[in-house]
Amino acid sequence: MAMAKNRHGLAGKPSLDVLGPLQDIIRQAREGKITGLQLQLFAEHKNPFEKVRSVADGLVRLFVDYTRPLANMIKEDGRFDYVNSDITEKNFQINRRPNGEAEMKVYHFNRDIDSDEAIREMDKEGYRPAELPEGLAYAKANPDEQRKYPIVLLGSLSVWRGFIGDRRVPCLCGVGVERDLDLGWFCGGWDSRCRFLAVRK
């Protein structure tokens, strides 16, 4: 007789094959290595195991839609508590790449570094700095990461210059429990707390 299944298609009693990955999911959640979104995927029986392994390896693969207006991306994907009013399509040109999955990596150099050096280090491993659509997709999938440290998107450089003549780049950051999308100076240098989102070329 076949075992009865619940509304999500899972058997009423988990097999030993399920318990191993399930225990690993619980362990990683307790250690803060996976996001709330990934736990939600597991609860909805959408098999997040491969994504969890990718995050544990420092990589994540996410679908990116480059075709929507930037304002829609920010509103629908970011759901930020604060957005710098200068982050507009007029000030930041969007590269209309083909929609699809992008392999992303978060770099942490653990030292003060300038933008050009960070980009050179990414390039050595076959990555380029992430742009706004990619950063917003990452923020949607990993909403808590920017509360831990600033994540800089060096691939989106403003087409305008600020009052001191410098150009700025978007940053995913947090103030307390807030999640913000703000700007930093491209030539100002970054302290050791900062991370940098990159995309496989």
Q: CA angle, corner 191, sides to 187 and 192, nearest 5?
A: 140
- pLDDT tens readout for residues 46-78: 444 444 334 445 689 999 999 999 999 999 988
**Single-letter amino acid, residue 124:** K
Instruction: Copy the structure tokens of residue 53.
Output: 């392994």
- pLDDT tens readout for residues 8-30: 333 333 333 444 556 666 666 67
Domain covering 59-200 in this structure, CATH number: 3.10.100
Instruction: Copy the structure tokens of residue 47.
Output: 């098999």
* 45, pLDDT greater than 60: no
If we measure between CA atoms, which residue out of 107, 88, 92 comes closest to residue 149? Answer: 107
Whether 196 and 122 have beta carbons less than 8 Å apart is answered as: yes
* 137, pLDDT greater than 70: yes
Whether 2 and 25 have beta carbons less than 8 Å apart is answered as: no
* 114, pLDDT greater than 80: yes
Whether 192 and 110 have beta carbons less than 8 Å apart is answered as: yes
- pLDDT tens readout for residues 151-188: 999 999 998 776 666 899 999 999 888 999 999 999 98
Please give the torsion angle defined by the CA atoms of residues 112, 105, 68 and 84, in that order, rounded to the nearest 10 degrees: -20
Whether 176 and 148 have beta carbons less than 8 Å apart is answered as: no
* 198, pLDDT greater than 50: yes
Global confidence as pTM: 0.71
Question: What are the residue ranges spanned by the domains of the chain?
Answer: 16-56, 59-200
The separation between the first and the last C-alpha atoms of the chain, rounded to the nearest angstrom, is 52
* Cα 111 to Cα 127: distance, rounded to the nearest angstrom: 20
* 36, pLDDT greater than 60: no
* Cα 8 to Cα 49: distance, rounded to the nearest angstrom: 17
* Cα 147 to Cα 144: distance, rounded to the nearest angstrom: 5
